[in-house]
Structure 1
Amino acid sequence: MTAHAVATLKMKNPEALAAYREKASAALARHGGAVLQASTELTRLEGDQPLPDGVAILTFPDRQAAQAWIDDPSLADTHALRTKGAETLIALL
């Protein structure tokens, strides 16, 4: 069953995040994943929490593929670029 993940980002290092974006699609594709939608232009509909600087919705063939993507040791350098570039929260739905 298709699984989705929501990633929220608070910018720390724009250069590192730009380097991550160059590698992100290929890294996701290794596990059947893709970015369904991403934006830095967010509109608050409800709530008082601070809006993140960006949000991405990721899609994977199943929950196991999403877990394999995040756990893949060959992608450690790519994931490190993301965490160097932004404080992130990735939640698997």
Structure 2
Amino acid sequence: MTAYAFVNLTITNPDSFNAYRAQAGAALNKYGGAAMEVSKEAEVIEGGGAAPTVAVILTFPDRAAAKGWINDPDLASVHALREGSGTSQIILM
């Protein structure tokens, strides 16, 4: 069953984020993942906290693929670029 992940990114290091973006697609493709929607205009319409700089909805063939992507040691350097670009939170739905 298709799985989705919601990604919240607050970018403080644009250079690291640009390097991540250059590699993120190939990393997702390895597990059949894709960015379904990307927004730089996210806004909180209920609840507290600030909106992220970038909000992304990812799609994967299933939950196992999403977990494979995030836990793949061969992709650790790609995830490190994202982590080094600011704060991030990824929620598997």
Is TM (by shorter chain) over 0.5?
yes
Decide which moves more: 56-65 or 34-43: 34-43
**Which contiguous aligned blocks of 4+ residues in structure 1 show a shift greater than 3 angstroms?**
none
Structure 2: where are the runs of 5+ without partners?
Answer: none
Alignment match, 1:75: 75
- What TM-score, normalized to structure 1? 0.95
1:22 corresponds in structure 2 to: 22
CA distance in structure 2 between the aligned counterparts of 1:92 and 1:66, rounded to whole angstroms = 8
Kindly report which structure 2 residues correspond to 1:1-93, keeping only aligned pairs within 5 A, or say none: 1-93=1-93
Q: Measure how far apart 1:27 and its partner are.
A: 0.3
Structure 1: how far apart are the matches of 2:42 and 2:55? 8
Normalised by the length of structure 2, the TM-score is 0.95
Aligned-pair distance for 1:48? Answer: 2.8
| Whole-angstrom CA distance in 1 between matches of 2:84 and 2:14 | 9
Task: Give the counterpart letter for 1:69 in structure 2.
Answer: W
Shift of 1:86: 2.0
Number of positions where the alignment pairs a residue of Structure 1 with one of Structure 2: 93
**Superimposed CA distance per residue, residues 43-70 of structure 1 (whole angstroms, 9 cap, x where no aligned partner):** 3322232111110000000000000000
CA offset digits 1:2-53 (Å, max 9, x no partner):
0000000111210000110011011000000000001111233222321111
Q: 2:42 & 2:71 partners in 1: Cα distance?
A: 29
Measure how far apart 1:83 and its partner are: 0.2
Aligned residues with identical type, % of pairs: 46
